Structure 1
Amino acid sequence: MPATTIHFVRHGKVYNPNHVLYERLPGYHLSQRGARMAAATARFLALNPATQSVSALYTSPLERAQETAGIIRDQINLGRRERGERPLDLIEDGRLIEAGNEFRGKRIGRGDGALWRDGNWRLLTNLMRPSWGESYQSIAGRVSDFVREQLEHRPGEQIIVVSHESPIWSFRHMLETGRPEHNMLLRRTALASVTSVTFESGSGSVLGITYADPAARLA
């Protein structure tokens, strides 16, 4: 059976001077540091013999993910053009979007709009559920649907996916433990990191999971 590898990349650092919990809000872009993080990860992927042969590049519809994916695309396409290969395009997929969160638009800190005002703290009743937004079951389920589709239509290929911390970790936790519920404080999904999952294309069995943090020195 051929093996399919999906490389899940978390977006780079976001420009957010007011410390807003932006979740799915529009208008939140990579900071200058975030762009450098994305560039470091792009170089890492472009130099990796496996991802040099990537066949598709998917992204969440949110700006920070699309900007990260665009930097990766441009770097990988340099090599593809030199080899006479067709450049990659970005493919947007809503299943890769950030988790829904009832705290969207709130600020971390004090003053008007702060997270801890107006009784918002009452939503923090269960770190494993979570109790303040989209369930981990829902998050992992939509990523699973995306992955099953890739295994069916792109067997044996290398695929890059740019998404967000919660979808990437919820899916990985489900693969490793059988359940997506987890303590969000214990995630291992750094900004611009790469979580690579290799599947047997026919059965969908997991053959291996690796993790890399190419932008660690920029964090």
Structure 2
Amino acid sequence: MTTAEHVIIYADGGSRGNPGVAGSGTVVYAADGRTVLRDIVYVVGKKATNNVAEYHGMLRGLEAARDLGARRVEMFMDSKLVVEQMSGRWKIKHPDMQALALEARRIAESFDSVSYTWVPRARNAAADALSNQAMDAAAAGADPGIVGETVADTPASAAGSQVGSPAHWAGATSRPTRFVLLRHGQTAMSAAKQYSGHSDPELTDLGHEQARAAARALRERGDIDVIVSSPLTRCRQTAAAVAEELGLEVEIIDTLIEQDFGAWEGKTFEEAHALNPQQHDEWLADPSIAPPGGESLQKLHSRIRNTRRELQQRYEGQTVLVVSHVSPIKSFVRQTIDAGPHVVARMFLDLASLSVVEFFGDAGARVGSCLRVFNDTAHLRSSR
């Protein structure tokens, strides 16, 4: 078993409902801050608070450090409350947290030194992602306890197997690259049901409201590492709302732009069809045919596939928020389920909807990708 004199721990916890289903995630690194010694996914229970879950994340880290024979421990969390209480600067009034803090201090006595440091949520993304896996497992009925753990020196066939994670049945031994796909909010053209490809309208008031609702939902989700966006204004504005909420920067990627509808730009379906019914019908039936002066679905799919592969390589094992349009998002989903172009017409994407797909990088995975969520609009109920 791996041992380590000095470990660096990132821990987090969360609750859906507060109190509600709760879980924690913990990542234990070697002293270099890069080599992962332990990943721990822990179900706290069906009715616990965020703060209690965060304490459990810290506790699992301290237990792992003890098992690793550590003498020096550095703990990093995005919970100001836990950091200040464990540092002795704030009082602990909640009885559940008093008991957890006492247990933590008993373990800490076995180390030469322990420090507790606050970090912003964006720097705690790995532990945050594990805590969300734990909450998923809790919601699925898992009992309190560790439901997923990767241990250094564990055989590759067993490493990374986690309850509630596609990695288990996919045969993957590493974290997938997750793409959270956000369609932009409403514009005047989308409200009028016009083809809006390379046109550049701004969000309406409702569109801004939808973007803020999506941003709040993504903040609660808490596992976004990177934000990338189409260059068009409607996506930039949607991405900016999320970036402000999460404290992240937005990277503009030109190839995430919508399909070019050419001569049909600004027309409704009926208007475009009336211009040349046969040509419009052929375009709908054949992905290799482009609108007059525009871009074919086949060409769009090729550029989005290349963009996805490039992003997966650059941000392997991370969660990337992609703010884009209907056609690019459908292309991501099509790649995920390894389907032909016929599926595109059978998907519907609402404005400001969220979809989630994952791609596994290891060559030994039996399944290379997984669709987790499609067209989620629960966050928009208050905006309608």
TM-score range, shorter chain: 0.7 to 0.9
- Which residue, out of 337, 362, 369, partners 1:206? 369
Query: What 5-or-longer segments of structure 2 have no aligned partner?
Result: 1-173
Aligned to 1:24: 198
Structure with greater strand share of residues: 2
Are residues 172 and 18 of structure 1, via their aligned partners in 2, closer, same or farther at CA, if it must alter by over 3 Å? closer
Q: Aligned partners of 2:221, 2:183: CA distance in 1, in Å?
A: 17
1:124 corresponds to: 280
SS in 2 for 1:192: coil
Does structure 2 retain, via aligned residues, the 8 Å contact 1:7–1:160? yes
1:5 & 1:109 partners in 2: Cα distance?
A: 33
- 5 Å matches for 1:2-151? 2-16=175-189, 20-26=194-200, 28-49=201-222, 51=223, 54-77=224-247, 88-108=248-268, 114-115=271-272, 119-126=275-282, 127-130=284-287, 131=289, 132=291, 133-151=294-312
| Contact 2:213–2:380 (8 Å) recurs in 1 | no
1:106-129 CA deviation, whole Å, 9 max, x = no partner? 43399xxx5355x33342123232
Preserved contact between residue 170 and residue 182 of structure 1 (Cα < 8 Å): no
The structure number with the bigger radius of gyration is 2
Distance 2:329 2:298 in 1: 13
Q: Which amino acid aligns with 1:94?
A: D
How far the C-alpha of 1:152 sits from its partner, in A, is 1.6
Distance in structure 2 (CA, Å) of the matches to 1:160 and 1:209: 14
Please give the secondary structure, in 2, of the residue aligned with 1:124.
helix
Q: Pick 1 or 2: higher relative contact order, CA cutoff 8 A, min separation 6.
A: 1
In structure 1, the residue matched to 2:333 is 172
Deviation string 1:68-112 (CA, Å, 9 cap, x unpaired) is: 0011111112xxxxxxxxxx21111111100011344443399xx
C-alpha distance 93-143 of structure 1, shift in aligned 2 (>3 A):
same
User: Alignment partner of 1:178: what SS?
Assistant: coil
Residue 196 of structure 1: aligned partner: 356
Where does structure 1 lack aligned partners over 5 or more consecutive residues?
78-87
Number of residue equivalences: 200
Compute the displacement of 1:190 (Å). 1.1
Q: Deviations over 1:34-55 (max 9, x none)?
A: 1111111111100003x2xx22
Task: Kindly state the Cα deviation for residue 149 of structure 1 after the two structures are TM-superposed.
Answer: 1.4
Distance (whole Å) between structure 1 residues aligned to residue 193 and residue 372 of structure 2: 33
Measured in 2, the distance between the counterparts of 1:125 and 1:105 equals 16
TM-score, normalised on structure 2? 0.47
- 1:83 corresponds in structure 2 to none
Aligned-partner Cα distance in 1 for 2:231–2:339: 28
How far off its partner does 1:4 sit? 1.3
Given that residues 258 and 327 in structure 2 are in contact (C-alpha distance below 8 angstroms), is that contact kept between their aligned partners in structure 1?
Answer: yes
Code of the residue aligned with 1:213 in structure 2: it is T
State how far apart, in whole Å, the 2-side matches of 1:137 and 1:20 are.
21
Matches of 2:332 and 2:251 in 1, distance apart? 20
**TM-score, normalising length: structure 1:** 0.80
| CA offset digits 1:9-67 (Å, max 9, x no partner) | 100110237765332023x0101111111111111100003x2xx22110001110111
